[in-house]
Structure 1
Amino acid sequence: MIDFWLAAGLLLLVALSFLLIPVLRGRRAQREEDRTALNVALYQERVAELQTQQDEGVLNTAQLDTARAEAARELLADTEGVQKPRESRLGKPLPLLAAVLVPVLGLGLYLHFGASDKVELTREFSQPPVSMEDMTQRLERAAAAQPDAPEGLYFLGRAYMAQDRSAEAAKVFERAAALAGRQPELLGQWAQAQYFADNKQWSPKVQALTDEALKLDPKEVTSLGLLGIAAFEGQRYQEAIDYWNRLLAQLPEQDNSRAALQGGIDRAAEQLKEGGGAVAPTKAAASLKVRVDLSAEVKAKALPGDSVFIFARAVKGPPAPLAVKRLTVADLPVTVELGDADAMMAQLKLSNFPEVQLVARISRAGQPTAGEWIGRSQPLASSTTTTQQLTIDSPDKK
C-alpha cells in the first residue's frame, strides 16, 4: 500500500507544478518590472542634473543634447530584452488557493469513490492465509467491498460452514442465490446450511430448497447427500440408501469421500435389517437415448435462447417427470441420455416403470410444465436401448 501512496504523491506533485509555475513566472515578471521602473527613475534624475548644469552655465545647448542622448541610450540598453508583463484577470491568490484545494478535494473524492480497499484486498489475497479465521476475515472484507459479487459470497458461506457458523452461512447463500439466480449448487448449499442452523430439524423450507435444486439438476450432490442424512436421522433407512447410492454414482472413483459414503450406506442397511426389514435389491439402471430436433416450422419461430426440457414420464403412474434434461434451442439438434441418475425423486426412476413416454418442450418463459411447442413419442419400454428420434413440431396447447 506504501508504493501506491508514493505513486499518488508523485502524481500530485506533477499536478501542483502546473498550478504553481504560473505563479512563479508572475513573480519573475514583477521583478523585471521593478528593475525597469528603477532605470526610468535614474534616467529622469540624470536629465534633471544635466538641466541644472546648463542653467549654471557649465553645459551649453549642444553639450546638453549630447548628454541627454547618451542617458537615453543607457536607459534603452538596460531595459532591452525585458518582456512586457502579462496581465492576469485571476490575480495571484486564486492559483495559490487552487494549489491547496485541488489535492485536498482529489484525496477526499478518492477516499469516497475510490477503490483503495480493493487494492489492499488484492495484496492480501496474494499472500497465503495463516489460519481459517484469517481467510474468513479476508472473505468478509471482500464481500463488504463487492456486495454484488455472488462468487465472493459463495466462498464466504463455505468458510462459515467450515467453522460451524451455519446460521450465518444460510444468510450468505440466500444473498448469493438472489444475485446469481437460483442455481442448483447454491440452493443445495443453502438447504444444507439451513438444516444445520435449525439443529438438524427438517423443515418445509429445506424440503422446498432441495426439491428445487434436484428439479433443476437431479445430480446435485449436496442435496442428495442432505436428503440421505435427513432420511437416516428420521430412521427412513431405505430412502437414505437410495439417496446415497445416487450420490455415490456421481463421485469419481478416486474421490476420498466415497469410502465414508459407502460406510453410511452400510450402516443404514444394518439398521434396516435390525428393525426387521430388508434392503431393497438394486435394480438395473434404466437409460434411454433420444435425439431431439425441430421441425422446419418451429425452427423458423423459436429463439436460440428459449429453454428446451427433455423428459420421460410414466405412461401409467404419477404425472411427474421420471428424468429431465434442460437445454436451449441453440443446442439442437442433440442426443441426450435419460436415466435413473436424472431422477428428481428416489422413488420415481425410469427403472421403476415398465412403460414411459418421451417429451420435449420449448418454453420461452423457462417453465417445464408449459411452453410454446412440444414433441411427444409413442409409449415405449423403459428398457429400450436403441436411440429414439423426437421432433418438436406441435403447438403446446394449454
Structure 2
Amino acid sequence: MMIWLLAGAMLLVATGCICYLLLVPANRNNLSAGQSAERMNTTLYREYVSELERQYPAENEADRRQLLVEAQRQLLMDEQQGGARQVLEKQGSTLLIFVSAVLMVLAVVLYAHLGAMADVQIRDLLEDQTPGADAVLRSALLQRLEQKEDSYYYWLLLARLELNNDHPEQAVTAYRKAHKLSPQDAGTTAELAQALFVQAGHQLTREVERLVAEALKLDLNNTMALELAGIAASSRGDYQSAITFWQRAVELETTGSPNALVLKAGIARLQALLNNGTQGVDNGVENKEAGENIESNEKVLLALRIELAEQVRDSLIDKPDSTLFVYVREWQGPPMPLVAQRFTVADLPVEVSFTDAMSLSAGRKLSTVNQLEVIARISDSGNIVATTGDIEGRLGPLSLVDKTSYSLIIDQRLP
C-alpha cells in the first residue's frame, strides 16, 4: 500500500509541476504583453493628439475636438478589450487547474473500481501474520468476489482460509465454486474431497471417494488424493491397496520428511495386519524397523479424564444419549483432528487414551505434533460441526514431552 501512496504523491507533484510550467510563464507573458499593448496605445494616442493640434488651427476647434473624442473612444475600447482578454486567459488557467484535478480524482476512482487496488490489499493481507488478520483477509476476499465472482484463485484462497479456521461448511461451499471454475485441476478436486471428509466428521462418503478417484485420474501423483485413497481402502479392509497408495505417496515425499516417516509407519501397521497381527517378518532390518513402528503406534501418548461441570450437569440429566465427541488437533494449526473418539453423555465421566495407531490420517500422527489442543463437545444433534447450544470444554496447548495425563472439564455452552 505504501508503494501506491508514494506513486500517488509523485503523480500529484508531477501534475503540479506541469500546471506551474503552463500557467506561471503564461501569466507573466500575458501580463507583459498586456502592459506593452497599453503603453503602445497610450503613446499612439498622444502622438495622434499632437498631430491634431498641428493640423487644425484654432478656427477649426470643433473638428479637432470631434476627432479627439473619437481617438479617446478608440483608446478606451482598446483598453477594455485588453482587460477582457486577460480575464478570459485567467479563466482558462483556472479551467486547466480544475480539469487536471478532476482527471486525477477520476483516475483514482476508476482504478479503485476497475484496477488492482483490492488485489494489492489482499496480497498484503496474505503476508500479514498479526492476530485478527484472517478476519480482515476473509472480509477482503468476500468483497472482491462480489466484484469478480469468476475468480478461481480467490475462491481457492477463501476455501483454504475457512478450512484452516475450522469452518468446514463454508470451506466446502468455496471449494465447490473453485472446482466448478476449474474442474480439471487435480489439486482443487483433492482439496474439496478433504474438506468434505472433515465436514462429515472424518467419515468417507460416496462423494469423497468419487472425488478422490477423479483427482487421481487427473493426476496420479497427487499426494493428498493418494492419502485419502489409502484411508478409504483401509476402511474397507483392503489393506494391500492402501499400502500401494501410501507407498506411492512416500515416493513423492521428500526423503526423511516427517510425513514420509508417518506414512511408512502406517504402511508397516497395515503390513502387520496382513501378516495376521505380527510385528513384521523376521527377514532383514527393514522388517525389524516396521515392527518397532507398530509397537510405537500402540503406545499411549495422551490420557484424559473427561467430566461435566456442575453448572451444565443438570441440563443433561434427560439426555444420556447425546453424543460426546472427543478429538485432538494441532494447537493453532489445521482444523482437521489428529485423533478422535465418540461417546455418549451416559459414559461420563470417562477415561480416554490416544495412540498413533488411532490417527485419522496416515500422514499426520499424534507423536509428530509439538503442541496439541483437546476439545470435548456434547451435541444433541450428533453433528460433528459445532452448532449453537452445544456444550464443550477445551484444553491446550498441551505438550506430550512434559506430561501425558490431563483432566478436561466440559463447562461452556456455545452461543
| TM-score between the two structures when normalised by the length of structure 1 | 0.47
Q: Which has the higher helix share?
A: 2
Rg larger in structure: 1
